[in-house]
Amino acid sequence: MSRVLLTGATGYIGSHTWLALLEAGHTVVGLDNFANSSPKVLDRLSQLAGQRVTFEEADVCDPLGLAQVLSRHRIDAAIHFAAYKAVGESVQQPLRYYRNNIGGLLNVVQALQDQGVFRLVFSSSATVYGQPETLPIPEDAPLATTNPYGSTKLIGEQLLAELERCDPRWQIARLRYFNPVGAHESGLIGEDPRGIPNNLMPYVCQVAVGTRAELQVYGGDYDTPDGTGVRDYIHVMDLAEGHVASMKHLLDGGGSHVVNLGTGQGHSVLEVVQAFEQASGRPVPYRIVDRRAGDVAACYADPSLARRLLGWAARRSLSAMCEDAWRWQSGHPRGYDG
């Protein structure tokens, strides 16, 4: 099997994808600077893998550090996760997001090219669709963004598309995924955001476990069945397996592709709250507050292309997402710190 460089490897999605790659027989070289993750993830991954994982502490915004990592490891392909990812924070700190997300991508691509590596899976986002014109959203839907985070992903996609056109050696997957939630079924790894969570599920988890008093629901007057935002929530392990399927497609010579990774079904904030209460047996008090800048009313995928092209489809239900998230959170009320 192949040796894969995984940037952002100790983050939420990166750590779960690491396990999925190992399970598929790949060798993984993980890279992270722990800007939004914990070194304790490495011990958990080693425990689950039954062997010590290979890891390099480095920053994708450091070209020299990246070059040194790649000089020490012969790799066949890369999956690039390392990026800042919070919509609200990106509105407050747009320059920080551009510097890290675009600059880091450029550095990774340059380092790969310098080593003669031309297969890359890029972590994009459904935010590139902006305010969707039709639902579910197909890959050929118009692209526009409503916040700086989404803009960094769209610019990243455009940069990679130009690279493909100019240099046919590149085979690049651009994976547009929706709202990853849940945790590994072992309960040993999961989502552990720094500070106040920017995404729904970790906030719900922290309210249920008692570390936060109530959930703030941003907007109750959207044009949706119950007035709250509707999103396509996908289990993080389904998402991880989607990356493995995409990587296999590239390694088998299937060529570049752009696909949605989602379930194709939308759930409102209040539906998620209800499902989590059922899974955890705990109440989740909530209060509806003003809408959040940059958010859209509803966003869910048409995932049929991924099924046809990659042979991949999301398998895990909303209840499974909530059960696995609760297993992680209830066993780790303060994330990796306790």
Active-site positions read: 149
Cβ–Cβ < 8 Å for 282, 215: no
Q: What is d(CA 228, CA 250) in angstroms, rounded to the nearest whole number?
A: 39
State the amino acid at position 300 in one-letter form. Answer: Y
For 203: left if phi > 0, alpha if psi spans -120 to 50, otherwise beta; the answer is alpha
Three-class secondary structure of residue 125 per DSSP? strand
Hey, which residues does 29 pair with through a beta bridge?
A: 5, 54
For the chain, give the longest Cα–Cα distance. Answer: 55
According to DSSP, the residues that pair with 298 across neighbouring strands are 230
Of 209, 204, 226, give the one whose Cα is nearest residue 272.
Answer: 204
Q: Which H/E stretch holds residue 105?
A: helix 103-114
Residues 305 and 57: their CA atoms lie apart, in Å, by 36
Gap between the Cα atoms of 161 and 143, Å rounded:
14
Q: Is 5 helix (H, G, I), strand (E, B) or coil?
A: strand
Sign of the CA dihedral running 120, 124, 128, 132: positive
- DSSP count for the chain of H helices, then E strands: 12, 14
Query: How far apart are alpha carbons 82 and 79 in whole angstroms?
Result: 9
Give the containing element (helix H, strand E) for 267: strand 267-268
